[in-house]
Structure 1
Amino acid sequence: MIFVLIAIVCSVLVSINFKLLNRYYTNAYQAIVFNYPTAALFCYFFFKPNLSVKPNSEHWVLYLVLAILLISIFYFIGKSIATSGIVLTAIAQRLSLVIPVLSAFLIFSETPTALKIIGLGVGLIAIYASKPTGKGNLKDIISWYPIIVFLGTGIIDVLFNQLTLLENISFTASLFYIFCIASVLGFLSLIYQQIKGTLKFQPKAALAGIVLGLFNFGSIYFYIKALQIEKDQPSVVFSSLDIGVIVLGSIVGILLFKEKLSKLNLLGIGLAIVAIVILNLPNAI
């Protein structure tokens, strides 16, 4: 399970990077943009995807939608970490597995089981218990960021599941194309900001983006490696990764960044772990 552990560390390091971007007044969006060409290069050299098979028009539409979502949700992850903290954002991200499970029997007509329904219920309660604390309008604003992260990440998970069903084209090739499209869209948006005169380029943001891309790709790479080794028990990989990110993220958030959690938030952490375990049980699917 060493690859799972490395994937967990990389995932939490992505969150730490977002936290540091805010602390050192680094433009998070510019860092996100530079993250994608970095991830694309690592994807090309480490996965060596077969690019001989050309995607069709339907593939390109799916890639474009995913690229837009990835940039958007990465931005909101940064906002959520900056305002609500690493712990609550990690819970929102990891509990997003509720959405693919829901889509499985609401959209794809899978038969729900008692365990799955219990897991969904516990997960939704955990999301509520993990809501940020605050006062007045500030609370109203920041409480939306983890919710957006939860919904957006869940939708991305559903679409990524569709990537695995594409015929004649590998998942890693699709991933490479998506990273490339995200890179193009990101740089086009920066050029647009430059033309409008609203862009103040920060070299440190570009460097931060390269580091972010390294850890972002690392979390994906070692996650896939873990799935390849533990191919007979993928649920163990899924649950270990999700629980590990929540636990390590909580430790880092509380001890390193002194994040304050309410008793309800602590209950949310516990319920999130319980929900992840239930939803990843083989007979819960």
Structure 2
Amino acid sequence: MLNLVLSVLCSSLIFVIFKLFDVYKVQTLYAIITNYVVACTVGLILYEKEIDFNKIIHESWFLGTLALGIFFILVFNLMAKASQVAGVSVASVATKMSLVMPVIFGVIFYKEVLSLYQIIGILLALAAVYFASMKEKSIAFSKKTLLLPALVFLGSGIIDISVSYFQENHLAQHEVAIFSAIVFGFAALTGLIFIGVKSVKKPLRVNIKNIVGGIVLGVPNYFSIFFLIRALQNEELDSAAIFTLNNVAIVMLSTLLGIAIFKEKLSLKNWGGIALAIVSIMLVALF
């Protein structure tokens, strides 16, 4: 349970840092790429065994880290685009409601059995994420704005399912650090290739704020994945319960941090979402 709590704390801190990016005018794309380099470095440092890349490339999970790394940065950019086109609320709901995908995956492929209380808790979690993410204006989908949120939903869900799959079938406990590092390394490489191509038309300028922002983001970003995988290795809770607790707790904590740090105001629906989140966590964790 401690690993899950630490993953929630790190993930919620990421949202706070993103808000600070806006305050200090940090260019998110370049900070994100720097963050992936930092996250990869942290993982390599924490890996307790000798790093043998000739051995690593032959591991059963290696090609998966390549796909995951590319997915990480693609989904992030889709989230940014969805926020611009459909609104931040829509992008947030699409991202967090993706928790339903790993839950269904765990039940179908791992034959995980959920109690009636857990099923009710998961359904309440979906409602909680929706209401806690809503802004004062209601969320309305049109044909033009539906595609991007749908892609964000699918992308986030696929990442969660992939992490769960590799943990269940390919990763030993001592490999979590190096697996996470390689995933972030490929994400960084993908980003560097992107800005390298972009720099052909427009030369890049080094911005210290972007680098500092990326360094500050990289550490909690790494540990959010590291502790989540460690939590999934805990046999006390199944993956469906862990993903539900993780996503709902992140929504709840990041919302409260927004109130405490940035003086954000919540609507009655937001408070209702937080209340539902607390109930859903109790149902999933205790039963």
Provide the TM-score with structure 2 as the length reference.
0.74
Alignment match of 1:97 (pick from 96, 99, 102) = 99
Query: Distance in 2 between the 1:237 and 1:161 partners?
Result: 10
CA distance in 2 between partners of 1:144 and 1:258 (Å): 32
Question: Unaligned regions of 5+ residues in structure 1, if any?
Answer: none
CA 1:58–1:5: 2 relative to 1, 3 Å: closer
Give the SS at the match of 2:56. Answer: coil
CA contact (8 A) 1:163 1:171 kept: no
Contact 2:75 2:156 in 1 (8 A): yes
User: 3-state SS of the aligned residue for 2:127?
Assistant: helix
Alignment of 1:1-285 (within 5 A): 7-48=7-48, 51-52=51-52, 53-56=55-58, 59-75=61-77, 84=88, 89=92, 96-108=98-110, 110=112, 113-133=115-135, 151-164=154-167, 165-166=169-170, 170-197=175-202, 201-221=206-226, 231=234, 233=236, 244-281=249-286
Aligned residues: 277
Q: Offset at 1:190? A: 0.9
Structure 1: distance between partners of 2:66 and 2:15:
25
Task: Report the residue type matching 1:24 in the other structure.
Answer: Y
Aligned residue for 2:170, secondary structure, equals coil
Is the Cα–Cα contact under 8 Å of residues 19 and 78 in structure 1 kept in the other structure? no
CA distance in 2, matches of 1:4, 1:274: 18
How far 1:60 moved relative to its partner?
Answer: 4.0
User: What displacement does 1:258 show?
Assistant: 2.8
Q: String of CA shifts for 1:196-216, please: whole Å, max 9, x gaps.
A: 227555331122111110221
User: What value does the CA root-mean-square deviation take over the aligned residues?
Assistant: 4.0
Change beyond 3 A, Cα 1:108–1:95? same
* CA apart distance, 1:222: 5.4
Q: Counterpart of 1:26 in 2: which secondary structure? A: coil
Matched letter for residue 261 of structure 1? L
Secondary structure of the structure 1 residue equivalent to 2:273: helix
Q: Which one-letter code corresponds to 1:194 in the other structure?
A: S
Superposed displacement of residue 111, structure 1: 5.2
Shift of the alpha carbon at 1:146?
7.5
Task: Name the CA distance, whole Å, in 2 between partners of 1:259 and 1:35.
Answer: 26
What do the CA deviations read for 1:20-60 (whole angstroms, capped 9, x no partner)? 11222221011111111101111011133564433449644
TM-score (norm 1): 0.75
Of 231-240 and 252-261, the range deviating more from structure 2: 231-240
Structure 1 window deviating more from structure 2 (181-190 vs 118-127): it is: 118-127
> CA, structure 1 residues 149+15, in 2 after alignment: closer, same or farther (shift >3 Å)?
farther
